[in-house]
Structure 1
Amino acid sequence: MSTFATRVLTLTTGTNETVTDLTSACADFLTETAPGLDGLLNLFVPHATAGLAILETGAGSDRDLLTALHLLLPADDRWQHRHGTPGHGRDHVLPALVPPHATVPVVAGRVQLGTWQSICLVDTNKDNPERQVRLTFLG
């Protein structure tokens, strides 16, 4: 017998570049929809200017990621995509480097992350403060 459950998280990321930890929301979703089950948790961001990353947070790695993205994707006028705030074209390139999806294993209803890993929404788009993340459990 297979189990399928899905939910959409709606987040306000504001007008600053952010790395938002979703790990707790993922754990809550699994507690409610997949208690004790094994399977996969898939996350998907239906936006052209945001992505998902699994990384350490709280020790500076989240800020380091944003700094690295600034080096790789400067917020200046070099981009062909030119609507929105200056440098917004970089936000549309972001999902090629930080994909809009992630899949992690679930064992006994718990996401199987490493000790320091967190599931994070990466949003460099200052023009769109509202984001959605679809969580789907398949077990």
Structure 2
Amino acid sequence: MPHHTNSLTIATHGPSLTEFTREAADWVAETEIATGLLTLFCRHTSASLVIQENAAPEVQDDLVAAFDRLAPEGSHYLHDSEGPDDMPAHVKAALTQTHLAIPVVAGRLVLGTWQGIYLFEHRRHPHQREVVLHLSGD
């Protein structure tokens, strides 16, 4: 069974969801794998991956706001060596995922009509985040 790997660098600009569905789908198409499984892995502990609605931008804004309420910044964390947004970012990443698995059928990602693949940045400052893609199949 063939295996292909790639990595994407995703620029972020503070707490937000950055969609990269098109980049992942384009790479899958280049591999010419017809049937398989795409695994995506975020190489960071203060950012995460989510599959979320890609039609209404308010969904992404509401998710950022909801996670800020779940893990607010504050002096109640022991870990603060990288700034007040660091430990809340770790909590948010722990509540979401660092990896995703998406089936590939007929050379295309099997996502729902309104689903998109997002990097969820949890830190305040811009970052360059790396997502590793691994596709296996026939």
Q: Same fold (TM over 0.5)?
A: yes
Relative to its length, the structure with more strand (as a share) is: 2
Matching residue of 1:24: 22
Q: Which moved more, 1:53-62 or 1:109-118?
A: 53-62
The counterpart of 1:38, out of the listed 35, 40, 43, is 35
Q: Determine helix, strand or coil for the equivalent of 1:13.
A: strand
- Aligned-partner residue type, residue 47 of structure 1: H
- Please give the per-residue CA displacement for 1:79-112, whole angstroms capped at 9, x wherever unaligned: 2210223232111122211110000111011000
Matching residue of 2:11: 12
> How far apart, CA to CA, are the structure 2 residues paired with 1:134 and 1:87?
25
Give % identity: 37
8 Å contact from structure 1 (residues 83, 89) kept in 2: no
Structural mapping, 1:89-100, within 5 Å: 89-100=87-98
Q: Which structure 1 residue ranges, 5 or more long, are not aligned?
A: none
Give the TM-score taking structure 1 as reference length: 0.91
The counterpart of 2:59, out of the listed 53, 58, 61, is 61
Q: Determine helix, strand or coil for the equivalent of 2:25.
A: helix
The counterpart of 1:107, out of the listed 94, 101, 105, is 105
- Please give the per-residue CA displacement for 1:12-48, whole angstroms capped at 9, x wherever unaligned: 113x11201010011111111135x101010000101
Matching residue of 1:81: 79
- Please give the per-residue CA displacement for 1:93-137, whole angstroms capped at 9, x wherever unaligned: 222111100001110110001110001110111246110000111
The counterpart of 1:130, out of the listed 109, 128, 131, is 128
Give the TM-score taking structure 2 as reference length: 0.92
Name segments (4+ residues, structure 1) moved above 4 Å: none
